[in-house]
Amino acid sequence: MADGFILLAGILAAAAGGELFVRGAVGLAAWLRVPAGIIGATVAAFATSAPELSVALNAASAGQPEISFGDVLGSNVTNIALILGLALLILPLAASRRDLRRDLPVALLAPVLTGLLLVDGRVGRIDGAVLLTVFVMWLAITLLEARRARDATPAVIGESNHVRAWLASAGGLVLLLVAGRLIVIAAEGIGEDLGIDAFIVGATMVAAGTSTPELATTVVASLRGHAEIGVGTVVGSNVFNNLFIVGITALIAPIGVEWREVTVALVASVLVLLLAIPGPAGRLGRRRGGALVMCYAVYVLVVIQSA
């Protein structure tokens, strides 16, 4: 029972801290005159992954990198299936085909590459370096393209006052650090009490909690008429999660998991990304949103049954 309350406190701290950090980071980037395209393509997506990074650093330093690995892979499914699905149910959107052509192939490649690196049952330090190298290559291409682009992200989800942006960033960061520690402590306790593997805990409960900033960002952008920001954020966040966070975690503490545990999350992350590809008109409607949410429900059931 105590671990459940600690997990809930960690999730609430991640939700509040993530939302504050996103608004503050985007607002500060705009105040520092970072080009709007770069803010949309990188700052917003990376800031929403701050809870996953906080959990990763805490889990790796505590000798439990499997929690972080499960969190990252589970968050990738949650971002697309649940968060984008809910956003589409609220408001159908037209996705930017230019951004999708750049980011979607990398988002699809990331879980495939992770699966190949897991053939020997672990993601070691060399594997982590490979993931980080691919991430740096993608980031360089993204920054080169983004410098020429205009983006509405700062106006939609950024804090306009730079003093409030500083305070939001600092307060959000403190909450994220606390949240990461609370979530890891609770996940370890729940896993031990229920006899559930650390990866499974990370792929379900922890993933749902650390995906709350993406949910807030996507819903706010949709309600303000800029739902395309939500698509870019969740896809970019998936790339950041799978390449950068897994890479960093593996460098700190090599990750060892069984293939049967990872297969569901890896396959699900690829399938929901394919389902999120817009049609010829570049639109994603409510039916697609409903299908994505149903996929998330099936994913959670399968993961729990495999525990």
Give Dmax (Cα) for the chain: 53
Which span out of 26-35, 211-220, 242-251 was modeled with the highest average pLDDT? 242-251
Q: What is the DSSP letter of 119?
A: T
Task: Tell me the range of 86-90, 103-107, 127-131, 209-213 where mean pLDDT is highest.
Answer: 127-131
Q: Which domain holds residue 195?
A: 2-306
How does the average pLDDT of the chain come out, rounded? 80
Q: What's residue 128's pLDDT?
A: 93
DSSP assignment string, 239-299: HIIIIIIHHHHHHHS-EE--HHHHHHHHHHHHHHHHHT---TT-EE-HHHHHHHHHHHHHH
Query: 222, 91 in Cβ contact below 8 A?
Result: yes
For residue range 12-25, what is the model confidence (pLDDT) as tens digits? 887 777 777 777 77
64 CB neighbour count, 10 Å cutoff: 22
Taking Cα atoms as reference points, which of 250, 42, 219 lies closest to residue 139?
42
pLDDT of residue 188: 73
Highest mean pLDDT among 48-52, 184-188, 237-241 belongs to: 237-241
Cβ(54)–Cβ(212) under 8 Å?
Answer: no
Q: Region 195-210: what's the mean pLDDT?
A: 76
pLDDT value for 132: 95
C-alpha pair distances (Å), 18 with each of 113, 216, 243, 278, 305: 28, 9, 20, 28, 30
Can you tell me the distance from the alpha carbon of 11 to that of 7, in angstroms, rounded to the nearest whole number? 6
pLDDT-based confidence at residue 292 (cuts at 50, 70, 90): very high
Per-residue CA distances from 123 to 161, 252, 258, 274, 288 (Å): 43, 11, 11, 25, 34
Residues 6+ apart with CB under 8 A from 198: 64, 66, 67, 70, 187, 188, 191
* pLDDT number for residue 248: 92
Tens digits of per-residue pLDDT, 76-117? Answer: 898 889 888 887 887 777 666 666 677 888 989 999 999 899
CATH number of the structural domain spanning residue 251: 1.20.1420.30
Number of domains the chain is built from:
1
